[in-house]
Amino acid sequence: MGLTARIGGLFRALRRWKSSVRHQVTWSGLLFTSIIVMVGLGAFASGNNLLFLLLAALLSTMLISGFVSRLSLSGLEVRLLHPEHVFARRRLPARIELCNTKGYMPSYSIHLASSDEEESPLRIYFPVIPGGATVEAHTTVFFRTRGLHGDSQYQFTTRFPFGFTERRLQVRLRREVLVYPCIDPQPGFEDLLFSLEGDIDAHYRGRGNDFYRIRPYEHGESARHVDWKATAHTSELQVREFAREQDHMVEIFLDRQIPASEHAWLEHAIDCCAFLCWRMATSGRRLRFVSQGADIRLPEQGDIYGILKFLAEAGPSRTKASAFPHESHSFQIVFSLSQESTVHGGWDGARWLGGTLLVP
């Protein structure tokens, strides 16, 4: 019973493999088939043994071609090695590994193509894959949307050995790729960042020990900060300005409670939020990101990729955000369609970005 079960399992596996292989007759195959038909008709009409020998040779060539072609496609596995961090709408380098699991039988003239033409190049050619070996090729990956991308389909194609038929084998590449939102600037993002950087610098003018700049006197300021030398030089009151001693924190709040009709706004807000978080984190600023189900502080609780991982799978939320500003003197940025709800949440002093202020 054990041997019978093994044989039955082998035949079932062969049937599944056979059902997954598709073939298409090429022009060379049609021409070769026509020659076989003509030689066969001539052999039966004339009874010439030489023609029968030629017919047998032609039929054997056809059968061997099909067998070798199927054998060349069997036992192939594909792996895609992409960077650890993948961003939407950014073409990134990757490697494709093609493994021949057959011990000694090589595979020849293999074309590898992806079902998703945006993810990888349309076709990669491998002249030969030795038995038991793994070959690799450099390629690129490209994902148009953020989120978790699952399995993908790849197709092996070969015309080996004589090109009579083109055989195709569909294989599934099992993987999960978390794609971060796009961090490349979109129209208006650079101008917004420049405006926010100026507002942040103005917000954090302080009276610490580090000299910041000399600027004109403003009404109501204490006279003890007047720089008399600069005043005498310019004939106008000038004051010395110092930076705060503590690190500056920027708090970004993303409100994901939106109507069903505003999904496009949320996607644009997520892209803008990812862009601002990336630029501010890489410039060395202390950062706090807040949203429904998220409260991440940098650098105390990790790096920027923690925020990007959350944004990669973030969607609309039915709950209201309950987070409040962490520091009363921090610079606050709010992405929300409801300015009233953010004011009630303690973000009344924040720079509000929503509605017509953030138009896709």
Per residue in 54-90, pLDDT (tens digit) is 988 988 888 888 888 888 888 888 888 888 899 998 8
Enumerate residues 6+ apart whose C-beta is below 8 A from 126.
Answer: 98, 107, 109, 110, 111, 112, 135, 137
Q: Give the Cα separation of 159 and 26 in Å (integer).
A: 9
pLDDT grade for 278, boundaries at 50, 70 and 90: very high
What pLDDT shows up at residue 324? 73
How far is it between the farthest Cα atoms of the chain?
A: 123
Q: Give the Cα separation of 335 and 265 in Å (integer).
A: 10
21 touches 70 (CB < 8 A): yes
The percent of residues above 90 in pLDDT, for the chain, comes to 7
pLDDT exceeds 90 at position 160: no
pLDDT grade for 1, boundaries at 50, 70 and 90: very low
Q: Give the Cα separation of 221 and 249 in Å (integer).
A: 25
Report the DSSP beta bridge partners of residue 298.
Answer: 287
pLDDT grade for 180, boundaries at 50, 70 and 90: very high
pLDDT exceeds 60 at position 340: yes
Cβ of 305: how many Cβ atoms within 10 Å? 15
pLDDT grade for 310, boundaries at 50, 70 and 90: very high
Q: What is the helix (H) or strand (E) element at residue 230, kind and residue range?
A: helix 228-234
- What architecture is the 74-180 domain classified under in CATH? Sandwich (2.60)
pLDDT, tens digit, for every residue of 347-358? 777 778 876 555
Amino acid at 64: I
Q: What is the pTM of this model?
A: 0.70
Q: Give the Cα separation of 277 and 335 in Å (integer).
A: 13
